[in-house]
Amino acid sequence: MPSSDELEARISALEAELAAVRGQAADVSGRQKINQMSAEVVDSNPYSRLMALKRMGIVDNYELLLFDYDKVELANMNRLFFQPHQAGLSKVDAAVKTLKAINPDVSFEVHNYNITTVDNFKHFMERISKGNLTGDGAVDLVLSCVDNFEARMAINAACNELRQTWFESGVSENAVSGHIQFIIPGQTACFACAPPLVVATNIDEKTLKREGVCAASLPTTMGIVAGFLVQNVLKHLLGFGQAKEAAKPKVVIEAVKEEDVVHEENPWKIEVVSEITEEELISAEGDKPELVEGLQVAYTVPSSEAQTEDTVEQSDQSLEDLMAQMKQL
């Protein structure tokens, strides 16, 4: 059994070691924050390559607001951004640590929560509308880099209500295609009206989707889509190129020819008979937009008539009564 003196000595030794490690960690960032940005094009200026593009506009200090509620997992390492030692940190914290180390001139504000719940959503909207650098106005642009429909719809609702310009981005579930969509509320179709339901597929998705796995991810696809997104963000913020024009929907509508397969010989008169008629099928399917080759719709909305199903009756019971009744079941 070691004496208390020995233990104290051990503790102070470990504390010294910890302090040393912490000191090293603080040194990870290669430089200090820069107060005045230099336009000089020299090797020691971290912005020299960017400033060489000065004719495109002025690069101001900027602030990033990050929203996420996930923790870094080892499964995320294929995205190349998080590092193994960050496993267990919240994603926003890990992202800020890495980004700060790369560029201490950027201000960050992080929120580790799920934006689709009622309370968080209120705060999310508040930060979009008041989250600029001086804290008195809306942010310049919202970038949606989420991985599910619910979160996208929440961002869409917030940006519509606040008339906030935003970019939606995403990678398909099979990890081989993706999209970016520039949305100006009131000017371009919003995400709820024109979601990328149409998925470009030259290959059968089923062949790529491994049985029993929900979604795949390929870092190169993520990198390419992120690249498209950031390039267009720069075009939008710095005002070059055709960010707005290029983002307008440009789906060419053409008739798709469908040909029935006819077998020349059918000596036993075999034919496939559907249990439902063509009309029933069409009415159940609803309207289908005509799409160019390589595109298909993920689902359709049934036509609004033919609503003969039972709907819930008007109840005289109060909500409290119903809640109590549910509990007693």
Partner 1 sequence: MVDEVTKRTLAKIPLLKTKAGPRDGELWVQRLKEEYQTLIKYVQNNKESDNDWFRLESNKDGTRWFGKCWYIHELLKYEFDVEFDIPVTYPATAPEIALPELDGKTAKMYRGGKICMTDHFKPLWARNVPKFGIAHAMALGLGPWLAVEIPDLISKDVIKHKEKQDGASS
By annotation, the residues acting in catalysis are: 214
Q: How far is CA 183 from the centre of its chain?
A: 14
- Which lies closer to partner 1 via its Cβ, residue 150 or residue 254? 150
Phi–psi pair at 179, nearest 5 degrees: -150, 155
Is 126 a binder of partner 1 (CB under 8 A)?
A: no
Out of 50, 64, 138, 153, which residue is the one contacting partner 1 (CB under 8 A)? 153
What 3-state DSSP class applies to 20?
Answer: helix
Is 173 a binder of partner 1 (CB under 8 A)?
A: yes
Is 305 a binder of partner 1 (CB under 8 A)?
A: no
Is 253 a binder of partner 1 (CB under 8 A)?
A: no
Q: How far is the CB of 319 from partner 1 (least distance, A)?
A: 5
Is 300 a binder of partner 1 (CB under 8 A)?
A: yes
**Long-range interactions of 133-141: CB distance < 8 A, separation 24+:** 133/61, 133/62, 133/63, 133/107, 138/162, 138/164, 139/65, 139/164, 140/237, 141/165, 141/166, 141/167, 141/233, 141/236, 141/237
Whether 260 and 117 have beta carbons less than 8 Å apart is answered as no
Is 113 a binder of partner 1 (CB under 8 A)?
A: no
What is the Cα–Cα distance from 221 to 213, expressed in whole angstroms? 18
Q: How many residues does the chain have?
A: 329
Is 193 a binder of partner 1 (CB under 8 A)?
A: no
Out of 267, 298, 304, 305, which residue is the one contacting partner 1 (CB under 8 A)? 298
Q: How far is the CB of 269 from partner 1 (least distance, A)?
A: 29
Out of 21, 242, 302, 306, which residue is the one contacting partner 1 (CB under 8 A)? 302
If one counts every other C-beta atom within 10 angstroms of the C-beta of residue 294, the result is 10
What is the Cα–Cα distance from 128 to 209, expressed in whole angstroms? 36
- Which lies closer to partner 1 via its Cβ, residue 143 or residue 151? 151
**Nearest alpha-carbon partner for 293 in 205, 206, 230, 202:** 202
- Which lies closer to partner 1 via its Cβ, residue 14 or residue 306? 306
- Which lies closer to partner 1 via its Cβ, residue 10 or residue 123? 123
Q: Which residues bind partner 1 (CB under 8 A)?
A: 70-71, 73, 114, 116-118, 121, 148-150, 153-154, 156-157, 173, 192, 212-215, 286, 298-302, 309-313, 315, 317, 319, 322-323, 325-327, 329
